[in-house]
A = this chain, B = another copy of it.
Amino acid sequence: MRELTVDLGERSYHIYIGEGLLNEADTYFSKHGISNKSPLLIITDTNIAPLHLAFLEERLQGGGFKAFSAVVPSGEGSKSLSMLEELIAKALDAGLDRKSTIVALGGGVVGDLAGFVAASFMRGVKFVQIPTTILAHDSSVGGKVAVNHPKAKNIIGAFHQPEFVLYDLNLLQTLPPREVRSGLSEVVKHGLIWDASFVQWCEDHADRLLALDADSLGYALHNGCSVKASVVSQDERENGLRAILNLGHTIGHAIEAVGGYNGLQHGEAIAIGMVGSAKLGVRYGAPEEVYTTTKRVLAKCELPTALPEHFDVDAIMEAMMHDKKFAEGTMVFIVPSAIGEVEIKSDVPVAWVREIVEELKLEVEQL
């Protein structure tokens, strides 16, 4: 079992990573002072509920906790204010009070939604995260929670740190291969911004990660979480440094937006975005190796590294213009200067970005 601490002063918390942790869920809940007098509410989705909900409820009820549950439809559509209203109704019906806890059992969508329920119910109650995807290692550190507005993603939210995170590697065994790859994209990102040796390790262990080898997964998640924890503990509310976590995300979000819900997955889109950022880095004088290594490690994880032919450059540029990071003629970009090192450039010419996006369409996939 691996363990790490996200250091945020009085809001610090532990992340436990290991096989079979769900079997001892009640022990972890007790150890962290979760009330067994006030009811708690597990929020999960229609994908995860049939796989793991009954087991978790049993463990918690067996440990004397008053566990209730709510199941939301899987997918981004559940991150809405109307779902928040429904879940608050569930919480009230189950008799939750200010000493109650909200538990997120799921991936990023469930974590974001349940986290915002926890942040806003009675102005904030305790929150526990039990991630069920690799990608969720990213959202399990840093306390960003939110729902969507019809006009913008993640625009209504809070910073609300969990009491602890219980990462049971066994829950990852049922992940569809595409979600495995998508999750690895954020793992690699954490290496690219912070730790060259971890990038090398990812390249060497990509096969084992794709095969869901528990020990490799545990190491990768521990390192990914550690990098994010280091960044977040220096800048909890994203006043500066935390922005480096957005490596690949400006182009990536635009690719996602243009692709629509049935386009590329988040991890796939940011993989292409990270190749773009690496190319930008080389333009700014980084060694060519930044680009070749970025592309190679992502390809090893079976992630796309070129923009599919049918994407329209104009549409992608327009989607980027709507991004918060844009200002007259220049853009803010996270740009690698070496493997494991990035800089925040605030005056990247839009023209350069367009050229990079055009080049991304001409990239040859390295498989």
Q: Which residues of A contact B (CB under 8 A)?
A: 81-82, 84-85, 88-89, 92, 97-98, 119-124, 144, 146, 149-152, 155-159, 237, 324
Partner of A120, one of B82, B98, B156: B156
B-chain residues with CB within 8 Å of residue A146 when the two chains form the complex: 123
CB of B124 within 8 A of CB of A92, answer no
For the complex formed, measure the closest distance between the CB of A143 and the CB atoms of chain B, giving whole angstroms: 9
Evaluate whether A120 and B85 lie within 8 angstroms (CB atoms) in the complex, with A92-B152, A149-B92, A151-B92 already known.
no
CB of A324 within 8 A of CB of B98, answer yes
Evaluate whether A158 and B123 lie within 8 angstroms (CB atoms) in the complex, with A97-B324, A98-B324 already known.
yes
Evaluate whether A155 and B81 lie within 8 angstroms (CB atoms) in the complex, with A98-B324, A123-B146, A144-B123 already known.
no
For the complex formed, measure the closest distance between the CB of A239 and the CB atoms of chain B, giving whole angstroms: 10
B-chain residues with CB within 8 Å of residue A144 when the two chains form the complex: 123
B-chain residues with CB within 8 Å of residue A89 when the two chains form the complex: 149-151
Q: Which residue of B lies closest to A120 (CB)?
A: B156
CB of A155 within 8 A of CB of B121, answer yes
- Listed A/B pairs (8) with beta-carbon separation below 8 Å: A81-B82, A92-B155, A97-B324, A98-B324, A120-B120, A123-B157, A123-B159, A124-B158
Q: Which residue of B lies closest to A98 (CB)?
A: B324
Evaluate whether A120 and B84 lie within 8 angstroms (CB atoms) in the complex, with A98-B324, A149-B89 already known.
no
CB of A84 within 8 A of CB of B85, answer no
For the complex formed, measure the closest distance between the CB of A246 and the CB atoms of chain B, giving whole angstroms: 13
Partner of A155, one of B88, B157, B158, B159: B88
Q: Which residue of B lies closest to A145 (CB)?
A: B123
B-chain residues with CB within 8 Å of residue A82 when the two chains form the complex: 81
B-chain residues with CB within 8 Å of residue A98 when the two chains form the complex: 324
For the complex formed, measure the closest distance between the CB of A79 and the CB atoms of chain B, giving whole angstroms: 13
Complexed CA–CA distance, A351 and B84 (Å):
38
How many copies of the shown chain assemble into the complex? 2
CB of B156 within 8 A of CB of A84, answer yes
Partner of A158, one of B84, B88, B149, B158: B158
Q: Which residue of B lies closest to A149 (CB)?
A: B88
Q: Which residue of B lies closest to A156 (CB)?
A: B120
CB of A121 within 8 A of CB of B156, answer yes
B-chain residues with CB within 8 Å of residue A155 when the two chains form the complex: 88, 92, 121-122
For the complex formed, measure the closest distance between the CB of A252 and the CB atoms of chain B, giving whole angstroms: 19
For the complex formed, measure the closest distance between the CB of A37 and the CB atoms of chain B, giving whole angstroms: 10
Q: Which residue of B lies closest to A117 (CB)?
A: B156
Q: Which residue of B lies closest to A143 (CB)?
A: B123
B-chain residues with CB within 8 Å of residue A122 when the two chains form the complex: 155, 157
B-chain residues with CB within 8 Å of residue A150 when the two chains form the complex: 85, 89
For the complex formed, measure the closest distance between the CB of A235 and the CB atoms of chain B, giving whole angstroms: 13
Q: Which residue of B lies closest to A85 (CB)?
A: B81
Complexed CA–CA distance, A123 and B237 (Å):
9
Which 10 A-B pairs give the minimum distances between C-beta atoms? A123-B157, A120-B156, A81-B81, A92-B151, A88-B149, A81-B85, A123-B158, A123-B159, A89-B151, A92-B152
Q: Which residue of B lies closest to A158 (CB)?
A: B123
CB of B92 within 8 A of CB of A158, answer no
